[in-house]
Amino acid sequence: MKKCLQEHKEQAHQTILKSILTNTIINVSDIFHTRKTFYSRPQNLSDIQIQAVNRLECRIKTIKEGVVVRVFARYITGAWMKDPTSHLDTIWVFMDNVEVNRLVEYADEAALRKDNPTETYRLPRACAGTGHVVYRGSLYCNIHGTNQIMKYSFNTHTILARGMGQAGFNNTFPYSSGGSTDIDFAIDEKGLWVTYSTKAAKGGIVISKVNPNTLALEQTWYTDIPKQKVADTFMICGVLYAVVYHDDRPSEIEYMYNTNTNSVVANKALSFVSYPEFNVMLDYNPRERQLYAWRFGMSWDGLLLQYPITFEDD
């Protein structure tokens, strides 16, 4: 990956412009979830899980090319998040991925674009990696240097922490981009998840459903998906999507695992355009039905992107 970065550094600006301006649509209609419940576009987000209704299979139709919302000069890695259960459009940003405890809050995308933050939080414990999420008014992350997960309440400014058993941490089982991405949270229509790996799992991705109140791991699935070959993952309707970065072609969704059926989803590799750049953070927002990403730009900037997703029943 480093070799690739060096090779393409001189092409930086042209590459970025090309990738931004190319409105490529990827047909991924053969991705499907076998679960027979599907999430309707919500009007009220007080509890998105309640709004899962009997509809078509959870079937992705397309993932569009990413739209750049903001560029952070020099911050080649980081994370940006919205709370999908909130009526507000508040955005939180972590710049960098190493021992981060400075969380910047913006009222909305316009404020983010104008670099007009409303508040900066100094967390009592620093987070690691880029796999943080905000859910039901709290931040969830992996505490730096540990395999503990943490819930930080924006209302009370207090934290709740819980150990993750044998979960690898501190670059034991990171994604291929490294950067302490051992423990990755995700939110989908079914709630809060965390993905990681253990020695017993031999580096395979382990998926756990997380109780957002207690941080207890309510249910766990073991997969053969090699975590360190994967660039990042996200969940939609209980299905894990794993994106693999390649040095010579666009990143692809190469693996899927359906927790509803406890099985791998057979599929062909699906292009996920970011070549020769790659995303160091990737998450799904079930309210907006789009992916949030932080792209490691070839000009050594961080690009904050959204990838709209369309579904078969839209």
Residues in the chain: 314
Rounded Cα–Cα distance for residues 305 and 281 (Å): 10
Shortest Å distance, C-beta 43 to Ca ion: 27
- Shortest approach of Ca ion to residue 11 CB, angstroms? 27
Q: How far is the CB of 234 from Ca ion (least distance, A)?
A: 5
Smallest CA-to-CA distance from 227 within 172, 279, 276, 270 is with 172
Structure tokens at 216: 């207890």
- Shortest distance in whole angstroms from residue 231 CB to Ca ion: 10
* Cβ distance to Ca ion smaller for residue 15 or 82: 82
Q: What number of chain residues touch Ca ion (CB under 5 A)? A: 4
Q: Is the CB of 232 or the CB of 252 nearer to Ca ion?
A: 232
Q: For residue 103, what are the CA distances in angstroms to 118, 149, 151?
A: 11, 17, 14
Q: Could you give the string, one character per residue 254-283, with x where binding to Ca ion holds by CB under 5 A and - elsewhere?
A: ----------------------------xx
Quick one: 15 or 189, whose CB is closer to Ca ion?
189
Please identify which residue in the block is written with the tokens 């009592």. 124
Given the complex with Ca ion, which of 15 and 221 has the nearer CB atom?
221
**Quick one: 15 or 270, whose CB is closer to Ca ion?**
270
Cβ-based neighbour number of residue 114 at 10 Å: 10
User: H-helix or E-strand containing 256?
Assistant: strand 251-258
Map 260-295 to HEC letters: CCCEECCCCCEEECCCCCEEEEEEEECCCCEEEEEE
CB of 114 to Ca ion, least distance (A): 27
Candidates 65, 83, 182, 184; binder of Ca ion (CB under 5 A) is 184
Tokens at 126, concatenated: 């620093």
DSSP state of 266: P
Measured from the CB atom, the residue of 70 and 227 that comes closer to Ca ion is 227
Which residue's CB is nearer to Ca ion, number 95 or number 293?
Answer: 293
> How far apart, in whole angstroms, are the C-alpha atoms of residue 57 and residue 36?
5
Q: How far is the CB of 240 from Ca ion (least distance, A)?
A: 10
Which window, 36-44, 63-71, 180-188, 247-255, contacts Ca ion (CB under 5 A)?
180-188
- In the DSSP assignment, the letter for residue 9 is G
Question: Which of 30-38, 51-59, 183-191, 211-219 is the region at the interface with Ca ion (rule: CB under 5 A)?
Answer: 183-191
Q: What is the Cα–Cα distance from 69 to 91, expressed in whole angstroms? A: 12
Q: Draw the binding track, 278-307, toward Ca ion (x: CB under 5 A; -: no contact).
A: ----xx------------------------
Distance of closest approach, residue 235 Cβ to Ca ion, in angstroms: 8
For Ca ion, the closer of residues 75 and 196 by Cβ is: 196
3-class state of residue 54 by DSSP: strand
Could you tell me if 41 and 53 are in contact, meaning their C-beta atoms sit under 8 angstroms apart? Answer: no
CA distance 310 to 314: 7
Interaction residues for Ca ion, span 216-255 (CB under 5 A): 232
CB 276 within 8 A of CB 1: no
Q: Are 31 and 261 in contact (CB under 8 A)?
A: no
Residue span 89-128 as binding mask against Ca ion, x where in contact by CB under 5 A, dash where not: ----------------------------------------
Cβ-proximal residue to Ca ion, closest one = 184
Whether 226 contacts 254, CB under 8 Å:
no
Residues that bind Ca ion (CB under 5 A): 184, 232, 282-283
